[in-house]
Each structure stands twice: as C-alpha cells, then as structure tokens.
Amino acid sequence: MNSPRFPDNLAQLQGEFMSGWQDLLAQAQSGALTVPKDRRFSSSAWQAHPNFLFLAHAHLLATQTMQRMIDAADLPEDQRERLKFSAMQWLDAVAPSNYLATNPDVQQTLLETKGMSLLQGMTNFLEDMKKGRMSQTDESRFEVGVNLAVTPGQVVYENTLFQLIQYAPQTAQVYKTPLLMVPPCINKYYILDLQPDNSFVQYAVEQGFTVFMISWRNPQPADTDGIDKATWADYLQHGVLQAIDVARDISGEEKINALGFCVGGTLLASALAVARARGENPVNSLSLLTTFLDFADTGILDIFVDDAHVAYRELQLAQGGLMSARELASTFSFLRPNELVWNYVVSNYLKGQSPPAFDLLYWNADGTNLPGPFFAWYLRHTYLENSLVQPGKVTVDGTPVDLGKVDMPVYLYGSREDHIVPWRSAYASAKWLPNTQRFVLGASGHIAGVVNPPARQKRSYWTADLPKKPGDPQQWFDQAKEHPGSWWPDWSDWLANHSGVKKRATKRMGNARHHPVEAAPGRYVRLRAV
C-alpha cells in the first residue's frame, strides 16, 4: 500500500480537533460533560467519575478525527477502505472501556463483588482458552437435536459431501411440488431450524410444504477420504445437483422448488446454470436469501481480497487442506469488533459475567471447516474476479455457467443492515436472473433479518414492484412500502403459487431407492469443527 498523502485541509482538521479538545476541557472543568451516546460508555458509573468520562469523550473525539483524516486522504478508494478498517480495529481495541484501569463500571463491579468478578473473569478466560474461542452465549443451554434442529424428519440420503433430510409433514395435505433448501456450507444448516418458535423449516412445513434440507458435512483434519480436496465443481455436481435429483426421485415430481441462503444461494444458482446448459430444467422456482451472485460490491469484505491475498490462499489451499472454521469465525467477528469481540471481553473477562443463552449465537460458534480447493476457487472467481456474472467465463466439468439461462420464477430477499451481503448486492441478482418476480427487503442484518418468525411480531419489511430492467436499488427503495412484522408470509404466499395443487400427505420418508438412514438432524450436523 502506498503511503497516504496528507489531505489539503489537514490544518482545518487539526484546528477542529483542537477546538473540540478545548470544548471538552471546558465542559470537564464545569462538570457539564454528559454520558456519550455510545453503548460502551452508557452505564451510570461513567457519569459518576468525571475523569473516566473525559477519557471516553477524548477517545470518541480522536476516533472521529482519525476517520475524517482518512476520508480526506489522497488515496485510491480500495486503499482508503483498508486503512479505515485497520484504523477502526486499533481504535476500537484501545477504547478505555476495554481495560480494568480505565473502565469505572468494571471497577465498581470489582468492589461490589469484593474481587470475585475478576476471579470469575479469569476463570472464564481460561475456559475459553481451552475451547479455542470466545464464548458469546451460554453453550450449556443448547444441544443440536435436543432443543435445536428438532423439526421431525429423516435423513434419506448421504454421500461424502452432505446428508439430505426430508421433514415429516405436519398438515393433512401438502403442496404437490416439494421444496429443497440449500444452506451455506460455511455454517451449519440449523440456522434455518433453530428452536420451534423461530424455525424457518418448521414454519414452511406448517404451511403445507414438503421440505428437504441439505446438511453439509463438516470436514475434519483427520479425514482420509479426500474431502479436503473437494472443489467448487464437486459441491455443485455431487452436492446441490445430487440433492435435487434425490428430492425429485423421492417426491416423484419432475421439478421441485429450491431455496438458497447466503453461499448456499450462490451454489444453488450456479448449479442450476450448469443444469440449464446441459439441457436440464429440474427446478420450478428459485428463492434466494441474502445471496451474492454479482460480487461487484461486497461491502466491508472487499478489504480482505486482492491479488496477493488470493494467490497466497491458492498456494496454501488449492491442492488440498482445510480452511478452518476458527479462522473464518475470527474474520467475521472482527468485521464488527465492538459487538462481537470487545463487548464479550468486558462482560465475560473483566466483569466475570456469563453470557446469556442465545440460540443464534450458539449457532454462530458452531462453524464448519471448508475444503481448501473449494475455498480458493470461490475466493478468486467471486470476490476477486466476479466471474459468475460473466457468461461462460466459469466452467464446471467443461460446462459453461450462464446465469441468464436460470429462467425459472425467482424470489429475492435482502436484509437492509446486512454487512455480509449488502442489500443492494442482493438486489443486483435481479439484473442477471431474467425471470425475477419479486424482491423483498427485510429490516436488521444478515441473520436476524432472515430469522424473523411472524409470531414474534418484530421488525418490518419493504415491498415494491420490480421494474422490467432492474437498475438503481435506491429507486426501488424510494417507492417501496414498509410493512410491520415478518417477511415469511409474503414468501410463503409467493411459493404457494408455484407449488401446484395440494394432495394428501404421506408419513413415509424416502422411497424404495432412498431408505431413511437415521432420524433428523443426522450425524453430519452434530460434528463440531476442530
């Protein structure tokens, strides 16, 4: 990275900083400082200790000035974003809230507990060191197959890459066309099947859909069957397309509906492009939730990807090996360090508190390793080169990928505050999928926006008709109407119109060729990354 040239208005920024500093001193001397509008400094202990309150304001002033200097620096935009991210990491790390000596709330807790909070914090720290990760929730309160991923069903197929779950019907009649869900392979599938009251799978089954779910295998360092050499093409051919074939065979339907979430959606759309290039048309409708197809704008993740980094990953992983779940989780946590790192340093270690039970955060800590060749291919052809939206640039076993051939009806969903898949990028898929019928924007982020059951009556979502040629997403948003509650019923109504007539439900899982292997959730999802 070239050294940044100082901005022309450096003197102005310096002057404004000094003015802000003098204002802080004056307010501190007069006792007029108030608690900042920042959750890190929100407790009454900060207000009760003027010296520490001054430190908090000084930190925020320095942070604001540093950010303004970076914004004004004469730098290419990609370098500016990297510098801004690096500065954010350091500024967040040195916040006075993160240290015993400069956090009055921590000190007050230490006195009130007669030192026991610090002792318990050290115990928490040592336990996390043993686990190799920071605890974000009370993990003792959850167990997959006991109170997570408990929608009844059977594993009806498995190979080296995935198990396929068929869920038992919970209505007297079901729609004729079944639904296959393709979750991201970077995480466990049960983000879509948490607890019964916030399970997307449970909701879909209750609406009368016959649901199949891919449960991706979690590769381990000790595996000897070659899964560490699995490629992107393997995940398409022996993963997604194989699951589609099995679901069609079991249901007896020529076509099924399919839904992909995050990376699962990228895999699904790519697999369908391969199928169409081969003259096959196995899917009746496609739903994509917070999914990248066009990687032109990857948001904050763009700072991690350049030619040198991708070349390093290819040298490290392209011929085999595993991209560890631990490294992936650390990367995503530091995209939002105050919420996902330093918040827990203060509460768990400095104050000795145990994090509350939260199913979503339990899932977040239950990541999966990825085969190295898969990861290296994905990094280059999506984040670096944005190849999927260039017809024919990507081939899978000699078959060209053209998303323009994925011509079944499409439902797109994005989350407004998504920092993983910016909603404008989720919207951009409509440009490449010619039969996109609906785009819905939900409130909140990448996960919380998706997992929003109607019964909780939380959040909201926006809808508007798509133009014939989807262009500026902001124009779509400007005319969109906001609705209270969950987007799930909107999707369910749309899918029902693409699912045919209803028929009597049968309790039989699988068929003569695909016998039940074991009860859901199956073995693959229970295996934790090491």
Catalytic residues: 262
Burial of 291 (0-12, 13-18, 19+ CB in 10 A): buried
Are 212 and 178 spatial neighbours (Cβ–Cβ below 8 Å)?
A: yes
Ramachandran bin of 505, using left for φ above 0, alpha for ψ from -120 to 50, beta for the remaining angles: beta
Q: At what angle do helices 50-72 and 77-93 cross, to 10 degrees?
A: 170
CA distance 91 to 85: 10
409-448 exposure pattern, b = at least 16 Cβ within 10 A, e = fewer:
bbbbbbbbebebbbbbbbbbbbbbbeebbbbbbbbbbbbb
Q: What are the residues whose beta carbons fall under 8 Å from the beta carbon of 129, sequence distance 6 or more?
A: none
CA distance 8 to 10: 6
Q: What are the residues whose beta carbons fall under 8 Å from the beta carbon of 231, sequence distance 6 or more?
A: 371, 373, 374, 377
C-alpha torsion angle, residues 38, 40, 42, 48 (rounded to 10)? -120
Tokens representing residue 65 in the block: 């000035």
CA distance 377 to 383: 10
Burial of 306 (0-12, 13-18, 19+ CB in 10 A): middle
Strands, E assignment, 345-459: 370-371, 395-396, 399-400, 410-415, 436-442
38 forms beta bridges with none
CA distance 418 to 426: 10
Q: Phi, psi (5° rounding) for residue 313?
A: -65, -35
User: 17 to each of 59, 324, 403, how far by Cα in Å?
Assistant: 12, 43, 51
Strands, E assignment, 340-384: 370-371
Tokens representing residue 342 in the block: 């330093």
Are 466 and 476 spatial neighbours (Cβ–Cβ below 8 Å)?
A: yes
Tokens representing residue 232 in the block: 């992107």
CA count, 13 A, side-chain hemisphere, 268? 34
Name the one residue in this structure whose structure tokens are 């392209």. 318
Residues in the chain: 530
**Separate counts of helices (H) and strands (E) for the chain:** 19, 17
